[in-house]
Amino acid sequence: MFSRLGKKLTSFPIFPFQNLERQNVLCAMVDFSSKDITNPWIFSKILFLHFLKFPYFVDLKRPDKRGIKGCKNFYIKVNEKVTLGAWQTLPADLLEGDSSQLNSGHPIILYLHGRAGTRAQPHRIELYKVLSSMNFHVIAIDYRGFGDSSGTPTEEGVLEDTYRTYKWIRDRSDKVPLYIWGHSLGSAISTNLLKHLNQKVSDDHIIPVQCGRELHNKVEHYRKGRSYTMYKEFDKHLGYRHCEIYKDPELPTIIRNFMKMCVEKK
How distant, in Å, are the alpha carbons of 51, 54, 56 from that of 83?
Answer: 17, 20, 20
Angle 69-178-20 from CA coordinates, rounded to 5°: 65
**Half-sphere exposure in the Cβ direction for 35 (13 Å, CA):** 0
- Please list, in sequence order, all residues whose beta carbon lies within 8 angstroms of the beta carbon of residue 20, skipping any fewer than 6 positions away: 49, 114, 115, 116, 184, 206, 242
Closest Cα to residue 215, out of 1, 7, 6?
1
Q: From the candidates 3, 149, 204, 216, give the one annotated as an active-site residue.
A: 204
Is 184 a known active-site residue?
A: yes
Is 59 annotated as catalytic? Answer: no
Catalytic residue from among 44, 184, 187, 190: 184
Task: Give the dihedral of Cα atoms 88, 93, 98, 102; nearest 10 deg.
Answer: -50
Residue 242 bears catalytic tag: yes
Give whole-number Cα distances, 48 to 52, 119, 154, in Å. Answer: 9, 14, 8
Q: What does the radius of gyration of the chain's CA atoms come to, in whole angstroms?
A: 18
- What is the set of active-site residues? 184, 204, 242
